[in-house]
Structure formats: structure tokens, C-alpha cells
Amino acid sequence: MVNIEGKLRSADEIYHMINHKDRVAVAISGGKDSMAMLSCLSSYKNYSPRKFSLIAVAFDPCFQGREIDYSSIIDYCRDVGVHLRIKRCNLGDAISRTEKGTACSLCSRIRRGALHQMAISEGCNKIALGHHMDDVVETFFLNLFQGGRFETFSPVSYLSRKKITAIRPMVLCTEQEIKRYSEYNNLPTVANPCPFDGKTYRDKIKKFIEDQNRIYPGFMSNIFSAMQKSNISGFGKK
């Protein structure tokens, strides 16, 4: 099995994500990606040459008026010594009255804003997001096909309006590597309550990349490597 903890360490070393005395909010969705990130960061904290602290933050949109059951996540956070703070907001009515594309954008903005605010209120100067290599490449093609731009999100982004830095420690890991790590370590997860899950344009892009990988083995990793060599969106090695 690929050592994704080692890949997280490499991402930190390449992109200078974590500094001494940082307080990092780990954004938790309850899915495998964010839980693997929490697991790796809590382990990395114990041997990193830079001393930093962690807190976990989660946003529950309460779709269909139902609260997400975070009990298994709370237990796991307690086991690894990380406090979990949860903010709940009933987005169900607003989302149900909105068209799919607009609904996803609205939900994303509200979720990001809530997570940033929780992080700031907890004294954090950084927030860790669980995007992986697949997300990097998918976003690249989304921007290419929809906006005609060669760009994706950055591994490290300073959000000047919020005065907080977003880091993405899992960008060197593939989704499959994270899935295997999560299953091997029996990490707890909660189901994605999004009513549009599996029905977005991003899902079409994911299918496109999967198809290209079957035809041209290594397609995704080669695209990511090209982005690093071309320093697209800050992915060049520092």
C-alpha cells in the first residue's frame, strides 16, 4: 500500500504548508478524503520538525431537515486528541428551490464561509482542505472546458479577505490511494447527504478522466506532472 502519510509530508516539504506554531483547522466533511487527511495530520504532528496544533471543524447543511450523525467521527477525534467543532445550518429549503448548478455554488460558498469563520474563531491561521490529485486534475479540466483557462486551485492559498491560509496536504495522493488507506485503517465516515451527489458537471469530468485513463494508462498522473513542470497554479516545486 502506498504511504500517503509520506506523501503528505512530501507535500508539506515541497509547498511549505505548515510552519512552526501554526494552528490548523482540519475541514471535515465526514468522507474518506477528509478523514484520511485528519488521520495523516494527527500522525504527522507527532514527528514533524515543526510543532503545530490541530482542531477539526465540520459544517452540517442539514439537508431534508436531518442532522448528520457525527458520533463515530466525534469518537475518532477524541481518540486522536483533536477537538471537533460542528456548525449546523438548514440549507434544505434554499437548495431545493434553486437550480442544480446554482445550488451547488450557493452551498459551497456557505460551507466555505462557515468553515473559515469557525477556524478563525478558534484562533487558527490555517485551514486544511482534503482535495487530492484527482480533484486537482478535475478542476483543471473544468476550468479548461468551461472557462478556457489553464488553471486549478493552488496547494497553498492566502485568503486575504479572511486573513487565513488554505492548505491542501493531500494533493500528491490519488483518490484510490486514499480509499485504500481509509479502508485499511478502518476510518469512520458518514454518508454524503447532498441531493445532487453524482449528478454534477464535475462528475462528468471525473468520468471523462476515468475513460482517458483506461485508453491511455497514466493519463491523470501525467497531466498532474505536466502541471508541476509548468508551475500551473503554484504546483511547481518550490
List the domain range (segments joined by +) for residue 205.
4-231
Q: Indicate which CATH number applies to the domain containing 139.
A: 3.40.50.620
One digit per residue, the tens of pLDDT, for the chain of length 238 reads: 579 999 999 999 999 999 999 999 999 999 999 999 999 999 999 999 999 999 999 999 887 778 899 999 999 999 999 999 999 987 766 665 555 556 677 778 888 999 999 999 999 999 999 999 999 999 999 999 999 999 999 999 999 999 999 999 999 999 999 999 999 999 999 987 766 665 678 889 999 999 999 999 999 999 999 999 999 999 997 6
Give one word for 21, left, alpha or beta, with left for phi > 0 and alpha for psi -120 to 50: left
Q: Residues 103, 105, 108, 114: is their CA dihedral positive or negative? A: negative
Give one word for 175, left, alpha or beta, with left for phi > 0 and alpha for psi -120 to 50: alpha
Q: Where are the beta strands (DSSP E) in 77-231?
A: 84-88, 126-128, 156-159, 164-167
Residue 148, in any domain of the structure: yes
Q: Number of folded domains in the chain?
A: 1
- pTM, two decimals, is 0.93
CA–CA distance, 197 with 203 (Å, rounded to integer): 9
Residue 238, in any domain of the structure: no
Residue 237, in any domain of the structure: no
Residue 153, in any domain of the structure: yes
Residue 119, in any domain of the structure: yes
Residue 198, in any domain of the structure: yes
Residue 74, in any domain of the structure: yes
Q: Are 113 and 10 in contact (CB under 8 A)?
A: no
Residue 135, in any domain of the structure: yes
